[in-house]
Amino acid sequence: MLQASGGQRRVTAAARARQGLLVVGSFVLLLYAIEFLNALLFHSLNGTFGLRPRSADGLLDILTFPLLHANLAHLASNTLPLIIFGFLVFLSGVRVFATALASSWLGSGAAVWLIGGYNITVGASGLVFGLFAFLLVRGFVNRHWGQILLSVVLFLAYGGILFGVLPTVAGYVSWQAHLGGAAGGVAAALLLGRRRARPAGDSG
């Protein structure tokens, strides 16, 4: 019985890993397909669906701006961390991944809309920062030593990107998107951590 249970867990973990690669990989391929179309249109989609801060139309742009990029190099810079962080989050389940992604997406967009500059903002870097922040803090919220160890490894490998949440002299970098995305990732970790802890508190 115990051996079968352990085997089932291994199969489930392997299946989830394959599903994670499929979902995250498909999302990244979608970004490249959109970038290819956008390039054919001389990136005119950015002017239509990029996020315009503090405008009524800009509220709808929150749903679209992470799907667009300034150019192929911009998308390429987001690709690897998006795959790595997205896959690692997905290993915790579809619900966790969807919550972390949605919270990062909305947090990034809300920050740009509220405190962004006058330029139109595009790019998935806010999602990258959100998923990264989620991975960094969730272990401490859950008091899970394996997740804490992973967060330490990720911090040592990628911690330097956190400087991207600070205001920068490079006007083409949206630190607001980075900061909002990171805040959304932390919020998702706290929300999911509270939900996980609730059944233990209801034992009476």
Model confidence band, residue 8 (pLDDT cutoffs 50, 70, 90): low
52 belongs to a structural domain: yes
148 belongs to a structural domain: yes
32 belongs to a structural domain: yes
Helices 125-142/175-201 angle, 10° precision: 30
15 belongs to a structural domain: yes
Reported as a single tens digit per residue, the pLDDT across 169-201 is: 556 789 999 999 999 999 999 999 876 655 444
Whole-number pLDDT of residue 141: 94
Whole-number pLDDT of residue 19: 95
pLDDT mean over 113-134: 95
Taking the C-alpha atoms of residue 61 and residue 185, their distance in angstroms, rounded to an integer, is: 20
- Average pLDDT over the chain, rounded to whole? 89
204 belongs to a structural domain: no
pLDDT of residue 4 exceeding 50? no
How many domains does the chain contain in total?
A: 1
Token readout for 97 is 């991944």
Whether pTM exceeds 0.85: yes
Q: Which residues on neighbouring strands pair with residue 70, listed in sequence order?
A: none
DSSP 121: B
SS (H, E, C) the chain: CHHHHHHHHHHHHHHHHHHHHHHHHHHHHHHHHHHHHHHHCCCHHHHHHCECCCCCCHHHHCCCHHHCCCCHHHHHHHHHHHHHHHHHHHCCCHHHHHHHHHHHHHHHHHHHHHHCCCCCECCCHHHHHHHHHHHHHHHHHHCCHHHHHHHHHHHHHHHHHHHHHCCCCCCCCCHHHHHHHHHHHHHHHHHHHHHHHHHHHCCC
203 belongs to a structural domain: no
Whole-number pLDDT of residue 202: 41
pLDDT mean over 142-149: 93
Whole-number pLDDT of residue 11: 53
**Cα 63–chain centre separation:** 14
36 belongs to a structural domain: yes
Q: How far is CA 34 from CA 67, 73, 173, 196, in A?
A: 7, 14, 21, 37
Model confidence band, residue 86 (pLDDT cutoffs 50, 70, 90): very high
Model confidence band, residue 118 (pLDDT cutoffs 50, 70, 90): confident
178 belongs to a structural domain: yes
pLDDT of residue 5 exceeding 70? no
Residue with tokens 């949440």: 165
CATH of residue 131: 1.20.1540.10
pLDDT of residue 73 exceeding 90? yes
**Enclosing domain of residue 51:** 2-198
pLDDT of residue 12 exceeding 50? yes
Find all residues with CB under 8 Å of 93, minimum gap 6, and list them.
16
Taking the C-alpha atoms of residue 195 and residue 102, their distance in angstroms, rounded to an integer, is: 17
Taking the C-alpha atoms of residue 137 and residue 100, their distance in angstroms, rounded to an integer, is: 12
Taking the C-alpha atoms of residue 60 and residue 115, their distance in angstroms, rounded to an integer, is: 16
